[in-house]
Structure 1
Amino acid sequence: MKNYAKLLMISTVFAVSLTAQTKDQMVKSIMDETYQNSQLETLAYELMDDIGPRLVGSPKMQQAHDWAVKRFQNWGIEAQNEQWGEWKAWERGPSSIEMVAPYSKSIEGMQLAWSPSTSAKGLTADVIMLPLFKNKEEFNSWLPKVKGRLVMVSQYLSSGRPDYNWKEYATPESFDKMKKETSDAADEWRKSIAVTGETSRTLNEKLEKAGAAGIVSSYWSRGFGVNKIFSANTKKIPVVDISLEDYGQLYRMIQHGKTPKLKINAQSKDKGTASTFNTVAVIKGSQKPEEFVILSAHLDSWDGGTGATDNGTGTITMMEVARILKKNYPNPKRTIVVGLWGSEEQGLNGSRGYVWTHKDQMPNVQAVFNQDNGTGRIANISGQGFLHSYHYLGRWLSAVPNDLTKDIKTTFPGFPGGGGSDHVSFIAAGAPSFMLGSLNWSYGNYTWHTNRDTYDKIVFDDVKSNVATIAILTYMASEDPEKASSEKIKMPTNSRTGEPMMWPEVKEPTRKGGLD
């Protein structure tokens, strides 16, 4: 009996030792493949430069889905496009904006998403500025003046210097003066819009109905040369966004009694309706195939730039993780799913569609790892309100080399995300889901939804760090003998209402978008 017990102890020690050796070898293989045979630059070129921006419903979006499926299949990974809805189909064409009076000048700008086109010859019209209103009657009295004109609908900003530039060089007195003047002007503008009874989303439609020839906006992103590029919100007249610098010049001309005239040529195509998809790739589990580790990123983007950091980097990260795991870990214990979602930008529609369709998977999800905030290396992870997340995430993170994790800040158990990115769709369904938050790299000002979100903003060293980290986390989550707990925290009381706060609810996606 003593010999049996001794043999059992030796066997157990050997098994633990063998498991540790296997883990160490897998981590080494992942690190070697990540840093010595990276495919990230190729994937980034193909997605951002060769395909380009990926607006939901556009031909480019469909091209990206088809490209991703082919890429996965070339790596020996099963993949397909799963339809979740339909969207207005629109294709961006070339656009140009010129000032033709009081003199000729090229204007920096572009048409907004879903903007109606001009004729082939373009549109030439006088420009007027939306004034400040004291009440709705003033607005209604002014409204007939827009007929046949291009209407400037954004607040005038007197300085195109970001705050950090002011803070670095201005005197404290000058900086404080600028901040107060900027704040006061913004308050005055908001109050003026409010009294019209319109919002930034409904104003363009109101001006269109009043006979405006087109809309000119400038949504400055508070960085040198950067503007946010969103949607037109008109049905028949073109909408363009122009740089702060050019917008300011037009405003000052009007203030000094000049009437600038612009020629806009915006060629786009209304292509009716398009089916909308998620690209879903699967590496089937060998021991627990009905349990899932899900790698999450959205494939769609706005189309001011090429969607490089929102969310091209997340997409190529998850694709590269899948490639590396298929090569080095082809028979995972649990099934590994890669979801590249569509229409995250219009309300998490793709991931909501996946959760809605695959409700049966949600109780069996081991973990969802989501990335969607720029090119930076992982800097923070929250437990998202899952009570025991510290225990299993801690185990998985412990296998990642310290060089990759030493600066990662964790918050446990955290609080469930209520919006912002696709992990929220899974959190709502009770699946342990985690946003892998990245270093900022001036994301909010310079690349998030802007005309400068392009390949050159990618920091590949940081993306490689994320690939290695996520690949190791995925391996560890797949191999873990225990099913990760999905027990939730007790939600706190809302200080405003005195009622307990609610866990996010599963929501069905918008199935038909932009079609009204």
Structure 2
Amino acid sequence: MKRKLLILPALLLAGMTFAQEVDLKAIEKIKKEGLENSKVEEIAFQLVDKAGPRLTNSEGYERAAEYAVKQLSDWGLANSKTEAWGEFGRGWEMEKSYIAMTKPYYMPFIAVPKAWTESTKGEVSGKVIFLDIKTEEDFAKYKGKLKGAIVAIKPSGTQEPTYEADAERYTAEQLHGMEHPAPREPRGNGGPDRAADFRAARALSQKINEFIIAEGPALIVKGVNGRHGTLFTSSPRDYAKGTPVGIPELETAPENVNLMARLSENGVVVELEAEVKTRYRNDDLQGYNVIAEIPGSDPTLKSEIVMLGGHLDSWHGATGATDNAAGCIVMMEAVRILQATGLKPKRTVRIALWGGEEQGLHGSRGYVKNHLGDRETMELLPEHEKVSAYYNIDNGTGKVRGIYLQGNAAVAPIFNEWFLPLDDIVDDRTITIGNTSGTDHQSFDALSIPGFQFIQDPIEYRTRTHHTNMDTFERLELDDLRQMAVVIASFVYNTAQRDELLPRKELPKKQ
């Protein structure tokens, strides 16, 4: 079923004067090139398999950035380069990771070192001590007993069987439900008791961490979220220079720790052997983005910019295929399509592949601060008024099903018009006034530059791939990536051809 318009009439009326005729011949060229001559599989191999995990400031990130710079340049883009956005911190490399239960029987475990964790002192082995700390009084049970020990921490949550498919595509009904998002509850809702509980839990967690470090175990083995062999990786945020030495830590599938816990609780001695070898990179603490341009063709409009991007960095438990090589593949393919078709956008098209997103949108926030303006002071730079829009992909491998307006009602009729020639490849599309968060379009939206993330089919993003050890090439839906690249190229081209910049929301006040 194709739905031509899925937005409130009020949104259509807002900004109606901004609509203009779409160049259908150009859109057909984009579709033909993107669907018949796609290079997404080749780009995916380079960014995912060949570059490997792309933790910010890692060797894998550098490999991916070097490939992207060269490839964009080879396609004829101008000013293709890596650009420093500011200080990030230490790079980090895994060189060895091994863990197995050796008593009461031998069993290898699925595990990943926590990012920026330390090395063990060679191979460590011995009896496992389980920590069960609910209050500070519990510290006494372990005082003086953890030096050189292997400490295990049980996972939270449950790992019962699942009865729903891991992969999902949105139904028309689900998309329709996004059109009228429920009002968000104000922050702090839940009352003072809930807020106090959160602060107390956070304070206890910090004290537990300090206690463990002071006791000096040889290794921490932590069961984390996940099931059926999938585990969600994370970081102790120890990438900043000058971070004190910590305790080596392995994150393992929850089933592994649960097994050891059941054995231990029933009087069976459990022993492990493990080795973690890591290396820090301190030679360059700067963080970098990849930037390249298709110069504008119109003498008047070429000073204005249409941006598209996604974050190039990933976590380290796998090769970061859907988070977010997928977005970078799509954006690189989108600019390749524009080049291959011979279309000449009036405005300059600038692609950005961001670093440091996983640690807090660092790359895009640094870019915005350096080029466009400071959100805290609201001191704006000249280029701020030149950016028409920023388009982002960072919700996995699923094809585009619509777009979030981020509260910018005036662009609704424009985007609806732009989707019309794509209705044969965008099923049951939805345009929603609602916001989505957690990725780089927010850096632009914070300064009222129109920044948008597209609605994408979830596929396995929430269940199997987002920050996990299963985020590999096999998780990519290549046909979906092709569809996305066509949609993005079309939106970018239409934005570049408009007589006017896209309408903006009111500027926020100084923080």
Number of residue pairs the alignment of both structures matches? 443
Give the corresponding residue for 1:4: none
| Distance in 2 between residues matched to 1:208 and 1:193, nearest whole Å | 21
Following TM superposition, by how much is the alpha carbon of 1:391 offset from its aligned partner in structure 2, in angstroms?
Answer: 2.8
| Distance in 1 between residues matched to 2:355 and 2:90, nearest whole Å | 13
**8 Å Cα contact 1:128-1:254 kept in structure 2:** no
**8 Å Cα contact 2:155-2:254 kept in structure 1:** no
2:296 to 263, 285, 290: 285
Matched, 1:246 2:264: no
**8 Å Cα contact 1:277-1:350 kept in structure 2:** yes
Matches within 5 A, 1:221-300: 221=226, 223-232=227-236, 235-274=245-284, 275-287=286-298, 288-300=301-313
**Which structure carries more relative contact order (alpha carbon 8 Å, separation 6+)?**
2
**8 Å Cα contact 1:423-1:435 kept in structure 2:** yes
Counterpart AA for 1:229? T
2:431 to 410, 429, 435: 410
Counterpart AA for 2:489? A
Instruction: Give the 3 Å change call, closer, same or farther, for CA 409–202 of structure 1 in structure 2.
Output: farther
2:500 to 482, 490, 510: 482
| Distance in 1 between residues matched to 2:282 and 2:270, nearest whole Å | 35
Instruction: Give the 3 Å change call, closer, same or farther, for CA 368–112 of structure 1 in structure 2.
Output: same
Following TM superposition, by how much is the alpha carbon of 1:129 offset from its aligned partner in structure 2, in angstroms?
Answer: 1.2
Matches within 5 A, 1:33-48: 33-48=33-48
TM-score, normalising length: structure 1: 0.80
Following TM superposition, by how much is the alpha carbon of 1:276 offset from its aligned partner in structure 2, in angstroms?
Answer: 1.4
Matched, 1:344 2:346: no
Instruction: Give the 3 Å change call, closer, same or farther, for CA 296–165 of structure 1 in structure 2.
Output: closer
Matched-pair identity in %: 32
Instruction: Give the 3 Å change call, closer, same or farther, for CA 246–377 of structure 1 in structure 2.
Output: same
Matched, 1:382 2:382: no
Following TM superposition, by how much is the alpha carbon of 1:27 offset from its aligned partner in structure 2, in angstroms?
Answer: 1.5
Instruction: Give the 3 Å change call, closer, same or farther, for CA 370–43 of structure 1 in structure 2.
Output: same
Following TM superposition, by how much is the alpha carbon of 1:128 offset from its aligned partner in structure 2, in angstroms?
Answer: 1.2
Matched, 1:373 2:383: no
Give the unaligned 5+ runs of structure 2. Answer: 1-19, 167-196, 239-244, 373-381
**8 Å Cα contact 2:125-2:273 kept in structure 1:** yes
Deviations 1:294-329 (A, max 9, x none): 002000011111100000100000000011101224
| Distance in 2 between residues matched to 1:389 and 1:214, nearest whole Å | 53
Instruction: Give the 3 Å change call, closer, same or farther, for CA 205–454 of structure 1 in structure 2.
Output: farther
Matches within 5 A, 1:27-66: 27-66=27-66
Give the corresponding residue for 2:422: 401
Give the corresponding residue for 1:145: 145
**8 Å Cα contact 1:139-1:196 kept in structure 2:** no
Matched, 1:316 2:326: no
Counterpart AA for 1:286? S
Following TM superposition, by how much is the alpha carbon of 1:404 offset from its aligned partner in structure 2, in angstroms?
Answer: 2.3
Following TM superposition, by how much is the alpha carbon of 1:100 offset from its aligned partner in structure 2, in angstroms?
Answer: 2.0
Deviations 1:182-228 (A, max 9, x none): xxxxxxxxx899569422x664443122222111112123x422110
TM-score, normalising length: structure 2: 0.81
| Distance in 2 between residues matched to 1:155 and 1:236, nearest whole Å | 21
Give the corresponding residue for 1:178: none
Give the corresponding residue for 1:188: none
| Distance in 2 between residues matched to 1:30 and 1:378, nearest whole Å | 16
Deviations 1:82-134 (A, max 9, x none): 10123212111121102222332212212121111123x4111321111253x
| Distance in 1 between residues matched to 2:509 and 2:362, nearest whole Å | 15
Following TM superposition, by how much is the alpha carbon of 1:342 offset from its aligned partner in structure 2, in angstroms?
Answer: 0.3
Give the corresponding residue for 1:212: 217
What SS does the aligned partner of 1:227 have? coil
**8 Å Cα contact 1:127-1:152 kept in structure 2:** yes
Give the corresponding residue for 1:100: 102
Matches within 5 A, 1:474-513: 474-488=492-506, 503=508
Matches within 5 A, 1:6-21: none
**8 Å Cα contact 2:136-2:204 kept in structure 1:** no
**8 Å Cα contact 1:98-1:107 kept in structure 2:** yes
**8 Å Cα contact 2:100-2:272 kept in structure 1:** yes
1:462 to 466, 470, 480: 480
Deviations 1:236-263 (A, max 9, x none): 4311011122111111111112231211
Matched, 1:198 2:204: yes
Matches within 5 A, 1:165-204: 197-199=203-205, 203-204=208-209
What SS does the aligned partner of 2:261 have? helix
| Distance in 1 between residues matched to 2:149 and 2:395, nearest whole Å | 39
Deviations 1:430-472 (A, max 9, x none): 1011111211113112100000001000011111111111111
Counterpart AA for 1:388? A
Give the corresponding residue for 2:128: 127
Instruction: Answer with 105-114 or 296-305: which moved more.
Output: 105-114
Instruction: Give the 3 Å change call, closer, same or farther, for CA 376–311 of structure 1 in structure 2.
Output: same
Give the corresponding residue for 1:511: none
- Of structures 1 and 2, the larger Rg is shown by 1
